[in-house]
Amino acid sequence: MNAFLQAITIGIPQGALYGLMGFGIAMIFRSAGTLNFSHGYSAMVSVLITLTTIEWFFDAGIVEGHAALFAAIPVGLISGAVFGVLIDLLLMRRVKHVSPASMLMITLGLLLVFEGTANLVWSPDYESFPRILPGPPFIFEGTGALEEIRVVFRRNDLAVMLIALVISLSLAAVMKYTKIGLAIRARGQDPVGAQAVGINTNRVDSIVWGLALLLATVVGILVAPITRVHPTMLMNTQLLGITAAVLGGFSSLFGAVWGGLMIGVLERVIDIFPALDGYETAIIFFLIILVLVFKPQGIFAPKQGRKA
Partner 1 sequence: MLEVADLRVSYGPIHAVNGISFTVGEGEIVSILGANGAGKTSTLFGIMGIVRSRGSVKFRGEELRRRSPTEPTSKGMVLCPENRRIFPGLTVEENLRLGTFVRGEFKETAEQAYSLFPILKERNRQIAGSLSGGEQQMLAVGRALVANPEVLLLDEPSLGLAPVIVDEMFRVLADLRKKMAVLLIEQNAVKALSISDRAYVLQNGSIVHSGEAGAMLRDDNLRKAYLGM
In the complex, which residues of this chain contact partner 1 (CB under 8 A)? 179, 182-183, 185-186, 189-190, 192-193, 195-203, 251, 302, 304-308
**Closer residue to partner 1, CB minimum distance, 12 or 183:** 183
Give least dist CB 251 to partner 1, A: 7
Number of other CB atoms surrounding residue 217 within 10 Å: 29
Find the shortest distance in angstroms from Cβ 221 to partner 1.
Answer: 33
Smallest distance, partner 1 to C-beta of residue 97, A: 8
Per the CB < 8 A criterion, the answer to whether 126 and 229 are in contact is: yes
Q: Which residue's CB is nearer to partner 1, number 52 or number 195?
A: 195
Say if residues 43 and 222 touch (Cβ distance below 8 Å): no
Total residues found in the chain within this entry: 308
The least CB distance from residue 263 to partner 1, in Å, is: 25
d(CA 228, CA 29): 28
Three-class SS of the chain: CHHHHHHHHHHHHHHHHHHHHHHHHHHHHHHCCCCCCCHHHHHHHHHHHHHHHHHHHHHHCCCCCCHHHHHHHHHHHHHHHHHHHHHHHHHHHHHCCCCHHHHHHHHHHHHHHHHHHHHHHCCCCCECCCCCCCCCCEEEECCHHHCCCEEEECHHHHHHHHHHHHHHHHHHHHHHHCHHHHHHHHHHHCHHHHHHCCCCHHHHHHHHHHHHHHHHHHHHHHHHHHHCECCCCCHHHHHHHHHHHHHHCCCCHHHHHHHHHHHHHHHHHHHHCHHHCCCHHHHHHHHHHHHHHHCCCCCCCCCCCCCC
If the CB atoms of residues 51 and 199 are measured against partner 1, the closer one turns out to be: 199
Based on CB atoms, which residue is closest to partner 1, 55 or 190? 190
Q: Which is nearer to partner 1, 160 or 186 (CB)?
A: 186
Give 114 or 300: the residue with its C-beta nearer to partner 1: 300
Minimum CB separation of residue 163 from partner 1 in Å reads 29
Of 16 and 85, the one with the shorter C-beta distance to partner 1 is: 85
Nearer to partner 1, 108 or 196 (CB): 196
Rounded to a whole number of angstroms, the minimum distance from the CB of residue 185 to partner 1 is 7
CA distance 169 to 184: 17
Question: Minimal distance in Å, beta carbon 182 to partner 1?
Answer: 7
Least distance (Å) from partner 1 to the CB of residue 178?
12
